[in-house]
Structure formats: structure tokens, C-alpha cells
């Protein structure tokens, strides 16, 4: 295993970087001095922000710990994906009642505590990385076994199933090696993670839904890791007004998409005034990393999670593990949104689900791995 430690020079106003005693005291105040309903109704936004800002004073004198990355050897001359060690900590999963654009499936907002660190892929799995797996195993993806994958025709704008697979981009053209692999199903992602485990002897897997939201937020309690509003700089591959390509009908949502995402017609279809230079997947790590040292946790491509779909968080695990019902799920979770999404879908708490063999032009994945303390 190759380990790299990269100092991260910024300070972060986040509970994760402060002494445990301060966090414990703040949780005690939040959950015992105030009734729980007051915490949710009264404090949701302002009180949580205040509680997060207080330990920020400690962060000014205690910089964030270094970002630790590593790669496991797969075979002679080939290393696995770069993994980032994510620190143990806690966060509130889901969205507060007053968050604009929230969905009922993001309730109830609840505390999730990670007692131990874990590792996530620094980027989404790339075409080149997935190709190494296919070359070694001769694996055939869901798209190759079942007549292709779904994309929108760049000329007509119509959705359809085309003879494309992991080797192709969102337009059905050959994909660049450094792009996130797309047109892959949950089953394909599982097969790749299993191959990593077999080759390295280490416990690779898909991330849990909680791990993906925790990693996406990286300490932020707001709608997005960069804040609540429209980004003031190009921070992620998300749908911006200035990303539109002339005469490209795929920029305009279909009537079916509008009906499903915004039936009342109240949400913008893109980030007004924003542009990141991409309409389609971008090469991984094209934008700044978040506070955990991860790239593209928001936007670029949707990412498969291990969990079964549940319509809300009642009885959800509080330890961050995947929520699975006897290992059999009709639908699996996707997180993080994509380059194609409405801004309301790009929120850190937003959830989506699809059946395990579903694949299309904006779905990919990243891997997780258990690590020691």
C-alpha cells in the first residue's frame, strides 16, 4: 500500500476538527437544555450554525488534520484508486423542515455518528480504472448484456436506449480515460468493488448513503458544501446558465422531467449566471477538493450507494452503516447529483433511487474501504 500525507492549509469551521470535549458539551446543550422540538423548529438553521461557529474559534488555533491518501497494489505495475481516509465524526443527515426544495424523503433529520474512520475514493471511478477491471476479468456490464444504456440524442433531444456502454460518453462517443465511467449499473459497481477486494485482499465496497452525505457535506450544515446560494466561482460540474451549448436540445428538460422534478414550475432549471465550462461529465478532479480532500462529491455524475431505498429516515441506522433489508432491494440509492440536474437536486440532502441494473449517461460511482483507526 502506498500512503501519501498531504498537509491541508485551510482552517475549517467544523465540529470535526475540535476537541472531543467541546463537541460533547455542545451536543449536551443542544439536546438537553433545549427540548428536541425547539432544536428542530427554533434552531434548525441559526442554532446549528451558531453551534458550528463556536468550535470554529478552536479551529483557528487547531488547523484541520492532514489529508491522508493511499493506494493499494492490484497487480505488478498497477495500483488501485487513490483513497482518502475520512475522519470519524458526526453530522445531521437529511434536511431541516424549512430548507427550500426539500423532499419528505429527507426526514426526519437525524444524528449519525461514525465511531471509526473509513476511506473513500478521492474521485469517481474513471474509464481507465474500470477498463483495467474489464481487461483483467472480461466482465460484461449490464449495458453489454442488455442492449445498451440510456441517453438523450444530442440532435433530437429524445431519451432512448442506444448501443452504448462504459466505453462511451454522454453522447455515445468514445469516452476519455480520465472521465468518470458512466453507463454502469449498481451491479457493475459492485462487481468492480469485489474485484478490488479480490486483488488487494482489502475490504472494498460501495459507500453507504450516510457516508456519501457525510463526505459531501465535509462539515457543512448548509444546502451545499460551498453554502446556500449560487457559487461565486466554478466549484463543481453542475448545470449553469453559462454552460449551455447553442442548438443542444439536451440542455432543456423534457416535459416528463419537469413533471417529476418541478411539477409546480417554481424552481430554476440551472444555476443562474453560473458556468463551469462543461455540459456533460468533466474529467475527474477538475475542480477544487472539499474539506475532506474529495473531488466531485457534488455534481459530475450521480454515485451509487450500497443501501436499499427507503421512503424516509424513520428507523434509519445511526452508525452510518448501509441500510439493507435482508440483502434484497428493489431499488438502490444514488447520491451527489450530476452535471445534468436541476439546482434543487444538487442539495447535499437530496436522494434518488433506481433499480440495480439501471444505467444511463449521468450515473457513475466511487468506492469505499474499511480502514483501521
**Per-residue pLDDT reduced to its tens digit, 135-191:** 999 999 999 999 999 999 999 999 999 999 999 999 999 999 999 999 999 999 999
C-alpha distances (whole Å) from 191 to each of 75, 98, 202 are 17, 40, 15
Residue 158 C-alpha cell reads as 429524445
- Cα within 13 Å of Cα(281), Cβ side: 34
304, burial (CB in 10 Å: exposed 0-12, middle 13-18, buried 19+): buried
Q: What is the pLDDT of residue 14?
A: 41
Res 328: pLDDT: 81
Three-state secondary structure call for residue 133:
helix
Q: Where are the domains of the chain?
A: 122-370
Give residue 29's pLDDT. 36
Confidence (pTM) = 0.85
Provide the 3-class DSSP secondary structure of residue 26: helix
Tell me which residue has cell 466549484. Answer: 235
Grid cell locating 128: 481507465
Query: Could you tell me how far CA 249 lies from the centroid of its own chain?
Result: 27
What residue has cell string 448545470? 239
Residues in the chain where the model's pLDDT stays below 70: 1-64, 327, 373
pLDDT, residue 65, reads 72
Write phi, then psi, for 236 (nearest 5 degrees).
-165, 160
Give the closest residue to 64 by CA, choosing from 114, 10, 23, 21: 10
Looking only at the bridges linking them, the beta strands covering 302-308 and 363-364 are: parallel
Place of cell 452535471: 339
Place of cell 483495467: 132
The pLDDT assigned to 7 comes to 39
Task: Measure the CA–CA gap between 319 and 51, rounded to whole angstroms.
Answer: 22
> What's the pLDDT at 2?
56
Q: Could you tell me the CA-to-CA distances from 253 to 123, 268, 301 in Å, in that order?
A: 27, 11, 17
C-alpha cell at 184: 454502469
How does pLDDT run across 258-274, given as a tens digit for each residue?
Answer: 999 999 999 999 999 99
CATH match for 122-370 among 3.40.50.1100, 3.40.30.10, 3.40.718.10, 3.90.1580.10: 3.90.1580.10
Rounded Cα distance, 150 and 250, in Å: 13
Q: Are 204 and 369 in contact (CB under 8 A)?
A: yes
What was the pLDDT predicted at 325? 78
Strands (E), the chain: 2-6, 67-71, 73-75, 78-79, 83-86, 89-93, 110-114, 118-121, 149-152, 159-162, 204-205, 302-308, 332-335, 352-354, 363-364, 368-370
CB 271 within 8 A of CB 243: no
What's the pLDDT score for residue 41?
42
Amino acid at each position: 500500500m502506498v500512503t501519501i500525507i498531504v498537509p491541508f492549509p485551510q482552517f475549517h469551521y467544523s465540529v470535526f476538527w475540535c476537541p472531543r470535549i467541546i463537541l460533547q458539551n455542545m451536543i449536551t446543550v443542544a439536546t438537553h437544555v433545549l427540548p428536541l422540538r425547539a432544536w428542530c423548529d427554533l434552531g434548525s438553521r441559526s442554532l446549528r450554525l451558531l453551534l458550528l461557529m463556536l468550535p470554529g474559534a478552536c479551529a483557528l488555533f487547531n488547523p484541520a488534520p492532514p489529508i491522508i491518501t493511499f493506494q493499494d497494489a492490484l497487480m505488478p505495475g498497477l495500483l488501485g484508486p487513490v483513497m482518502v481516509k475520512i475522519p470519524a465524526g458526526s453530522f445531521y443527515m437529511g434536511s431541516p423542515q424549512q430548507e427550500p426544495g426539500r423532499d419528505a424523503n429527507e426526514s426526519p433529520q437525524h444524528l449519525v455518528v461514525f465511531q471509526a474512520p473509513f476511506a473513500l475514493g478521492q474521485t469517481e471511478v474513471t474509464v481507465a480504472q474500470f477498463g483495467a477491471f474489464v481487461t483483467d476479468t472480461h466482465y460484461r456490464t449490464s449495458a453489454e448484456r442488455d442492449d445498451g444504456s440510456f441517453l438523450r440524442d444530442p440532435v433530437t433531444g429524445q431519451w432512448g436506449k442506444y448501443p452504448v456502454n462504459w466505453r462511451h460518453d454522454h453522447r455515445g462517443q468514445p469516452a476519455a480515460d480520465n472521465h468518470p465511467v458512466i453507463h454502469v449499473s449498481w451491479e457493475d459497481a459492485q462487481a468492480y468493488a469485489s474485484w478490488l477486494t479480490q486483488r488487494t485482499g482489502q475490504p472494498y465496497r460501495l459507500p453507504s448513503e450516510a457516508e456519501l452525505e457525510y463526505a459531501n457535506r465535509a462539515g457543512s450544515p448548509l444546502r451545499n458544501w460551498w453554502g446556500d446560494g449560487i457559487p461565486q466561482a466554478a466549484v463543481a460540474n453542475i448545470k449553469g446558465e453559462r454552460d449551455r451549448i447553442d442548438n443542444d436540445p439536451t440542455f432543456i428538460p423534457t416535459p416528463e422531467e419537469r413533471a417529476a422534478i418541478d411539477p409546480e414550475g417554481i424552481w430554476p432549471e440551472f444555476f443562474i449566471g453560473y458556468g463551469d465550462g462543461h455540459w456533460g461529465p468533466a474529467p475527474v478532479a477538475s475542480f477544487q477538493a472539499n474539506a475532506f480532500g474529495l473531488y466531485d462529491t457534488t455534481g459530475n455524475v450521480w454515485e451509487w450507494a450500497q443501501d436499499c431505498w427507503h421512503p424516509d429516515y424513520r428507523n434509519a441506522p445511526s452508525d452510518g452503516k448501509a441500510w439493507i433489508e435482508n440483502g434484497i432491494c428493489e431499488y438502490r440509492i444514488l447520491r451527489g447529483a450530476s452535471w445534468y440536474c436541476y439546482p434543487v437536486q444538487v442539495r447535499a440532502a437530496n436522494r434518488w433511487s433506481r433499480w440495480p441494473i439501471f444505467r444511463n449517461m449521468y450515473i457513475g460511482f466511487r468506492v469505499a474501504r474499511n480502514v483501521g483507526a
